[in-house]
Amino acid sequence: MYVSHFIGGEAYAGKTARSGPVFNPSTGEKSYDLSYADRALVDHAVQVAARAGKLWGDTSQARRLGVMFRMRELLIANTDKLAELVGVENGKTIADAKGEIGRALEAIEYATSAAEVTKGEYSRNVGGGIDVFSIREPVGVVACIAPFNFPVMVPMMMACMALAVGNAVIVKPSEKVPAATFMLGQLWKEAGLPDGVWNAVNGDKEVVDALLEHPLVPVISFVGSTPVGEYIYQRGSSFNKRVAAYTGGKNHMIVMPDADLEEAASAFVSAGYGSASQRCMAISLLLPVGQETADRLIEILIPKIRGLHMGAYNDPKADFGAVVSAESRQQVLAAMHKAVEDGATVLVDRHHEVAGQTGFYVGASLLDHVRPDMDIYRHEVFGPVRGIVRVADLDEAIRITNDHEFGNGAVIYTRSGPAAHRFVAEVKAGMIGVNVAVPVPVGHHNFGGLRRSKFGDAHMFGPDAARFYTDAKTVSQRWAGVEATQTVSMAFPSNG
């Protein structure tokens, strides 16, 4: 497979000194060596983007919209090819990969409303014949730094609105899954996006630092882990850049005694183990309210988790695939062993079933009696080991959920309107589900967590994205002859 940087509408053919391996998690084999950009190459990409972005920003809204519509059709037509690239580099199943491509379509569809969400305001004759109007302009070049777990959806969610309002983008995909971003560059070109408006540079921290420091990159979108997001937010802000960083999660699912327990158990298994639990919105912790609810839920859960099929990305029977890397597998297993040392009890441990395989598989596991003082409770575990925290009542469930450092998603399963209403009012999470286990909003609603699941107060997806990717200007204008005055006045201008 040939994957390179994508700059100025074409693959970058030159060589750089650094590279890194890209693996196929399903087999554990190295697929190829990926060339990493250096500072000089990042600078070249930014200069190309800045020139192309200027022309693109001056292109009519109608022509920009036409590209968005064509890209939507191309994404649909190329779903199978893209899903294959996602599966082979990320390890998720083809069905799961197609799911994320479907959500990427929402990003394009919503971006077609760019003209509507950026249109300005106008106030006539606010005083002395002066009219005031506001306009929003593209910022120029936007850097989009993406994680490994959604190789199509996240770059597209970041880039579509940035492009639609007239910017050029430089995408820095995760160095573990660069192929999908490379192919997206080819599709954007086919859709008619001018060369240099979508660019991709590959690499690690060195590339990210070069983007954070570059004077021609005023806006940074980041999705990834909390420590890296915090660094990117602080470093980018120190250069007076606008940064939105969406980071880690530890999503709690509360199950009330009145809930439909079959439904809740199925939802927990899908949302907890789907994608080998490598989703920021995965349910990590199950909080049954009352001992009886816990015991009944566990009885339903155990056979469901034992029935899950772990397999290669292209195994049609697989419910989920391998985790992304050998290092990630080690971290997940270490987190599980530590939890057991700390006093959690094992209800299901299927790791022995995958132990000898070369692929980066982790068996589906479930722990009971997890407590908030345990590491497994506090830290995000990006692999299929999930925990149960037993709580006495809704008060305790909400308190525990709100005490966690992360506030990405939180979910309640109940048949009680008042309990749900109270949960929505009191829980401190950015995305809340009521009998919905993965409450990722549709493209025209804001997406993003609270507390240490998000840095920066801007939203980069949904309606606020158009503001994030544009600068506001407010113009006060008066034309000679309309109440113009030729006398000197030293007082502060008033509109009276």
3-state secondary structure (DSSP) of residue 317: coil
Where do the H-state alpha helices sit in 166-320? 179-190, 205-213, 226-238, 261-273, 291-306
Q: Minimum distance from CB of 209 to ligand NAD (Å)?
A: 7
Closer of 379 and 422 to ligand NAD (Cβ): 379
Q: What is the length of the chain? A: 496
Q: How many CA atoms lie within 13 A of 355 on its CB side?
A: 6
Burial class, 477, CB count within 10 angstroms (exposed 0-12 / middle 13-18 / buried 19+): exposed
Q: Which segment (57-65, 146-154, 296-304, 362-370) binds ligand NAD by CB under 6 A?
A: 146-154
Can residue 148 be called a binding residue for ligand NAD (CB under 6 A)?
yes
414-473 positions binding ligand NAD, by CB under 6 A: 449, 453
Q: Which segment (37-45, 170-178, 352-360, 396-404) binds ligand NAD by CB under 6 A?
A: 170-178
Spatial separation of the C-alpha atoms in residues 188 and 21, rounded to whole Å:
26
Q: Which segment (141-149, 306-314, 386-394, 468-476) binds ligand NAD by CB under 6 A?
A: 141-149
Q: Minimum distance from CB of 208 to ligand NAD (Å)?
A: 4
Closer of 23 and 246 to ligand NAD (Cβ): 246
Instruction: Please work out the total of residues on this chain that contact ligand NAD, with binding judged by CB under 6 A.
Output: 28
Which tokens hold the place of 310?
A: 């772990």
One-letter amino acid for residue 491 of the chain: A
43-102 positions binding ligand NAD, by CB under 6 A: none
Q: Minimum distance from CB of 232 to ligand NAD (Å)?
A: 6
One-letter amino acid for residue 82 of the chain: L
280 part of the active site: yes
Contact map string, positions 352 to 381, toward ligand NAD, x by CB under 6 A: ----------------------------x-
Which tokens hold the place of 376?
A: 């497994």
Q: How many CA atoms lie within 13 A of 365 on its CB side?
A: 27
Map tokens 């830290």 to a residue: 379
Can residue 246 be called a binding residue for ligand NAD (CB under 6 A)?
yes
Q: Minimum distance from CB of 408 to ligand NAD (Å)?
A: 5
Contact map string, positions 384 to 403, toward ligand NAD, x by CB under 6 A: --------------------
Instruction: State the virtual CA torsion across 313, 315, 321, 325 in degrees, nearest 10.
Output: -50
Can residue 225 be called a binding residue for ligand NAD (CB under 6 A)?
yes
Given 280, 282, 370, 385, the catalytic residue: 280
Q: Minimum distance from CB of 316 to ligand NAD (Å)?
A: 26
Q: Minimum distance from CB of 277 to ligand NAD (Å)?
A: 10
Q: Minimum distance from CB of 462 to ligand NAD (Å)?
A: 12
Can residue 174 be called a binding residue for ligand NAD (CB under 6 A)?
yes
Where do the H-state alpha helices sit in 307-385? 326-341, 375-378
Which tokens hold the place of 484?
A: 């113009």
β-bridge mates for residue 58, sequence order: none
Complete edge-to-edge strand list for the sheet that includes strand 409-413: 345-349, 365-368, 385-388, 283-288, 251-255, 409-413, 431-434
Handedness of CA 304, 307, 313, 316 (dihedral sign): negative
Can residue 219 be called a binding residue for ligand NAD (CB under 6 A)?
no
- Residue from 92, 172, 214, 329 in contact with ligand NAD (CB under 6 A): 172
Closer of 56 and 361 to ligand NAD (Cβ): 361
Contact map string, positions 285 to 314, toward ligand NAD, x by CB under 6 A: ------------------------------
Which run of H or of E encompasses 92? none
Residues 6+ apart with CB under 8 A from 38: 16, 17, 18, 206, 210
Rg (CA), the chain: 25
Angle at 194 between CA 78 and CA 57, to 5 degrees: 120
Q: Which segment (119-127, 184-192, 221-229, 465-473) binds ligand NAD by CB under 6 A?
A: 221-229
Can residue 214 be called a binding residue for ligand NAD (CB under 6 A)?
no
Can residue 248 be called a binding residue for ligand NAD (CB under 6 A)?
yes
Annotated active-site positions, please? 280
Query: Residue numbers of the site for ligand NAD (CB under 6 A)?
Result: 145-150, 154, 172, 174-175, 204-205, 208, 223-225, 228, 231, 246-249, 280, 380, 382, 408, 449, 453
